[in-house]
Structure 1
Amino acid sequence: MIELTLIGIGTGNPDHVTAQAVQAMNAADLILIPLKGPEKTDLAELRRGLLARHLANAATQVVEFDLPLRDADNPSYRAGVSEWHDAIAAAWEHQIRAALGPDPAGRVALLIWGDPMLYDSSLRIAERLGKRLPLTPRVIPGITSIQALCAAHAIPLNAVGASVIITTGRQLRAQGWPPGAETVVVVLDGGCAFEVLDPEGLSIWWGGCVAMPQEALIAGPLSAVSAQIVATRSALRAKHGWVMDIYLMRRDA
C-alpha cells in the first residue's frame, strides 16, 4: 500500500511551510518533483530550496521527472485536461515503481503550490493513480494564494456579511462579472481577463508572485490601474519565464 501525501507549501516562500508539512517531508520514502520545462526551472529550484532547508532525512529519495504537457490544441478543454491528468497519473506511477519496486509500498509525497484543495488537480490525479496502484491519499494543508494576497494588501477577503465568488480567468472572460457578486477572486488567469469587464465601480487588488522575492502588488480603481497591471505582469513573465498571479475585485457598494 502506498500512502500518497500531497503537501501544501504555500506560494514559494519557505516560511509558509508548516511544521506538519516538514514532518510529512521527513516521513516520506520518496518525494517527487515535477519539471515543467526549461522556462520554468525556477519553480523546480524553489522546491529544491524548500527541501534543502526542511528535509533532514537522508533516507528520503528525491526524484525529479518531466511533467507531461497538456494538448492545448484539443478542441475540448475538459477532454484535453482529462487526457493530461491520465498522462500525469501514469508518470507518477512510473516514477513510484522505478523508485520503490514493481509492487511498491511506502510513503510518497509531492509538494503542491498553495493548498491542494484550491484549483489544483493533484487530488484528481491521485484518484486516477488509485486505479493503478493501491494507495491511501493524505493532504497537508498549505497557505493559499488567496490568503497570501489578502495578507500582502492587508485587506479582508469579504465585505461585511457578503459572499465571495472564486473563479478562473477562463470563466471570467467567457461569462463576465458573476451576477449579484460583490467580491470576486480570480485564479488561473493566463491573460488579464479583467480587461473584458466594464471597470466602472470596480476596484482591484492584484499580486504577482505573492510572498516571493519578486513580488509585485498593485491596487486601485480598475480603470486607473488596469494598464499598469498588464505591463507589470508582462515584465515579470519576460524576466522569469513564468508568473503566478492572482487578484481580488470588489464592486463599490
Structure 2
Amino acid sequence: MVSDKQRRALVRPLMKRRPDLAYHRQYVFFRDLRHYLRGVFFESGTYGGFDLRAFVFPLFDATTFHYFRQTRSLEDDDKDEPFVKYYPTDKTGPDHLASEQMALEISDVIEREGLPEVADLASPEALAKRPAYSRAAIDEILGACFNGDYERARQKVESYVEYWKDTWEKLPLGIKRFKTNVLYETKYKVFSFDLVTEEHKFHQSDRWRMAYLGSILRTDPSRIPALLHEWEAFTVKSFNLHKYWTPTPFPCDR
C-alpha cells in the first residue's frame, strides 16, 4: 500500500507547476472547489499495486464515501469509460516509488490523461453528458434540485423510491452456530417515504437520503436550498476540505 508520504513525493513535480491543483489525502483535485469535487485519486489495488482513477462527485450529496460510484457507463454498458491507470506490484516497490522518474511519470499521467477527463464537469448539465462519471438517478435528482426544477426532481425521486421499495438487505439479527458454520438470520428491510424521519437526513445509505430529499420535495420544496447547503457542508467536513472550499450559492437560491 502506498503511503501518504510516497504519494506526496509522486505528485510533487505536478504540484510545483500547477498552483491550481491541490493534494489532500489520496486526492489530486482542482482548487476551485465549489459544488463538485473533481480530480484523480490513488486507489489501493491488490498486492501493493494501485490505480490512478479520475473522479467527480457533487459535494451536496452528503456522502462520506465516493468509491465505486455506480455510474451510467456501468449500468447501461455505455462505451464512455472513466480514466483508470493501473500500476502493478512490480512498479510500486520502494525503489520505484522513490525514483524521480516515477514521480515525473505519475505527475504527467495525472496532468495529461486524468485531470482533463473531469476538468469541465462542474455542473449538472456537464455531468449528464459523461456517463462514465455520473449516476443515472441520484445525480439527475440532485441536478434538478441544484437548478430549482423541483417538479422534475420530485418525479425522479418518486420513481427512484418506487424502484427500490421492494428490495431487501441482509441484517445480522442474530448468530446461530451449526457445527462449524455461522449462520445469520435475515429479514426484509422496508424502504418507503412513509418511514422517513429526520434521522435519514444524513443517513449513510444513498437510498434513505434520497427518500428524505423526496419527502421534502413532496411537502415543502422551499426547504431544498437550505438542505443542499447543509449536505454540502457535511461532505466538506467529512473529507476535511474546508481550506479549499468556497461556499457558493446554488442556482436554486435565486
TM-score of the pair, normalised by structure 2: 0.23
Could you say which structure has the larger radius of gyration? Answer: 2
Kindly indicate which of the two structures has a greater share of residues assigned to strand.
1
Kindly indicate which of the two structures has a greater share of residues assigned to helix.
2
TM-score of the pair, normalised by structure 1: 0.23
